[in-house]
Amino acid sequence: MNTTAIRILGLDPGLRRTGWGVIAVDGSRLTWIAHGVIAPDDKAPFSDRLLHLFDGVTAVIEAHAPHEAAVEETFVNNNPQSTLKLGHARAAAMIAPARAGLSVAEYAAREVKKCVVGAGGADKAQIAFMIARLLPAAGSPTQDAADALAVAVTHANSRRARALGRVA
């Protein structure tokens, strides 16, 4: 990998588990760097859980020095309270890279699924399967980490499309 490679941090925010994945992009080549899950204590106060997420993403940024970040958009479900809490977790995950000076792109879940699997209705197992094929060095990441790597891959493909003038 040469010095033109760009490192992308992908984030799949959640209050219980926030998946993260770092890839390097050099032209059309994608290389796995690292992945994991940030999991705050479920019994901790809400504000402490959010701080744990923020601190965890900050630590990932310090350890892996990404150039850009990408986050999956919030999935709105039938429970407004759950959606609001997920929004808080997403904010904590987005503020850490923004504070580090990284641009933060956002992608809808359907867009990520379509990019990685080819179908917007793909399930988590299909995403994990494709990530294992696209980034074989990643091994078999957990579903949360696979989702985060999928967000990073989506951002890499979006960057490439913009560079080729295919996206406005």
Backbone angles phi, psi at 19, to 5 degrees: -80, 145
Tokens representing residue 25 in the block: 């992009």
72 is catalytic: yes
Contact 17/161 with Cβ under 8 angstroms? no
Q: Which of 55, 72, 73, 147 is catalytic?
A: 72
Q: Which of 42, 48, 144, 147 is catalytic?
A: 144
12 is catalytic: yes
- Quick one: which of 58, 11, 50 has its CA closest to 152? 11
Q: Which of 12, 26, 41, 147 is catalytic?
A: 12
Beta-carbon contacts of 99 under 8 Å, excluding residues fewer than 6 positions away, are: 58
42 is catalytic: no
**CA-derived radius of gyration, the chain:** 15
Backbone angles phi, psi at 95, to 5 degrees: -70, -35
Q: What DSSP designation does 163 have?
A: H
Contact 46/107 with Cβ under 8 angstroms? no
Positions annotated as catalytic residues are: 12, 72, 144
